[in-house]
Amino acid sequence: MQTKQRVLTGITTTGVPHLGNYLGALKPAIAASQSDQYDGFYFLADYHALIKCQDPQVLHRSTQEIAAIWLALGLNTDKVTFYRQSDIVEIPQLCWLLSCMTAKGLMNRSHAYKAAIDDNLQQGDHDQGISMGLFSYPILMAADILLFNAHYIPVGKDQIQHIEMCRDIAARFNKVYQPLFNLPQAMVAHGEPKILSGLDGRKMSKSYGNIIPLFAPSDQLRKLINQIITNSLKPGQPKDPDTCTLFEIYNAFATSTAVEQMRQRYANGIGWGQMKQELFEYLDTYLSPARQRFEHIIQDPQYIETQLQQGAVKARQYSQPFMAQLCAVVGITALDKTLATPREKNVVKQAKSGDEHSSILAGRQKAIAIARQREAEQMAQVQAELDQLLAAIKNASDPQAAYAAQIQKLQQAITYATNKQSKLLRKKLQLLQAVVL
């Protein structure tokens, strides 16, 4: 009988984890693994990696490096379950069951899918380069989580949507068949930045080529920090820390006392060269112990593989019987076995009088009228904002550049918008793109 709350997290095995991965997933996961409060499951998401990586050498090397990073950061494999996703054959099996329960409309709202569509807007073919792996990524993620009935998933704030999708999928399965799945919750580190910025000020991402690898050697770390884009303010001029990538990264790692002192130094006009040096020294000191352990572990691939195989055995002690139970629930089982009686469903419908029916109909009509009025008000607001936007573009020194910048800004806003906000932003983007300067 499970008594502890289960924490589960994984990291995709493409490339080397960067500082953003560490803050969003690795750091909170390691902290949870060291607590007796939780039952920890940690895995290498090599199936997920196939969505973006079709280079076998890169995938193999990355899997080895990421496993070594987990171990170097202090993951205790005697205490937690540490495994490779592809070693658990029940994961893709469950993924198919969940795919049959998941509405396409839910997948259409995935941030990753919408971002890919936005990138294709100018090319005519919205689906160019978009595989079914990318489209159904949240379902595979749900299978990772639900197969082990995890309670908490350490993620960055930009991944919360996928946990919400997982809950929706699990709830539908529970309703249609039996309530066998927990509804997991996102575990987000307090005070974590929403998205850690990279060298160019955009989200730190391997696809943008703007990352700082977690265990970059000191020389490389210094070189990368020196490449971080800053503004043209000179030493002695006050600077805004809240719009600075250097300060954002410093704030994510430093103590609260050190952060407040650095804020004051920004107000006093710290020079960019000095700030980059301060950031380098702080990060290099912070990461050095784990980096040294990583360099030792990576030289022993047999040790890494042994740890993963031992973890797979532990994981399948849970996944095998649970998958058999799930298959039986949906009707996939040996023919000489009798299926359990399904839960009785309340299908009794109370007859409504004529007055009740009229009242319901009037309420629906009123709701429709209110919705239409709100839609008209929203469109008027969109048009007003668009007029202001066009005025600012036309008054800019370089209207074409200003126009392109606004298009990019709207596309980025859509990626992280709620469903309601996304609809209005997409309409504004559509109207703006129709404008001829």
pLDDT for position 400: 82
Where in the chain do CATH 3.40.50.620 domains reside? 5-195+300-330
Where in the chain do CATH 1.10.240.10 domains reside? 215-296
pLDDT for position 294: 95
Q: How far apart are CA 208 and CA 278, in angstroms?
A: 25
pLDDT for position 299: 95
Strand ranges for 128-263 from DSSP E: 152-154, 185-187
pLDDT for position 163: 93
Token pair listed for 53: 């990586």
pLDDT for position 349: 39
Of the candidates 154, 156, 188, the one whose C-alpha atom is nearest the C-alpha of residue 18 is 156
Domain range 215-296, its CATH number among 1.10.3720.10, 1.10.10.410, 3.30.70.940, 1.10.240.10: 1.10.240.10
Where is 393: in which H helix or E strand?
helix 354-394
pLDDT for position 345: 43
Amino acid found at 340 = A
Give the dihedral sign, CA 243/244/248/250: negative
Q: Which residues of the chain have pLDDT under 50?
A: 1, 192-193, 344-352
Of the candidates 42, 45, 149, the one whose C-alpha atom is nearest the C-alpha of residue 94 is 149
Distances (CA, A) of 89 to 321, 323, 347, 405: 12, 10, 38, 46
pLDDT for position 266: 96
pLDDT for position 418: 62
pLDDT for position 390: 83
State how beta strands 81-84 and 152-154 pair: unpaired
pLDDT for position 158: 73
pTM of the model: 0.68
State how beta strands 5-12 and 38-45 pair: parallel
Report, in angstroms and rounded to the nearest whole number, the Rg of the chain calculated over CA atoms. 26
CATH number of 5-195+300-330: 3.40.50.620
The answer to whether 199 and 246 are in contact (CB under 8 A) is: no
Q: How far apart are CA 150 and CA 185, in angstroms?
A: 9
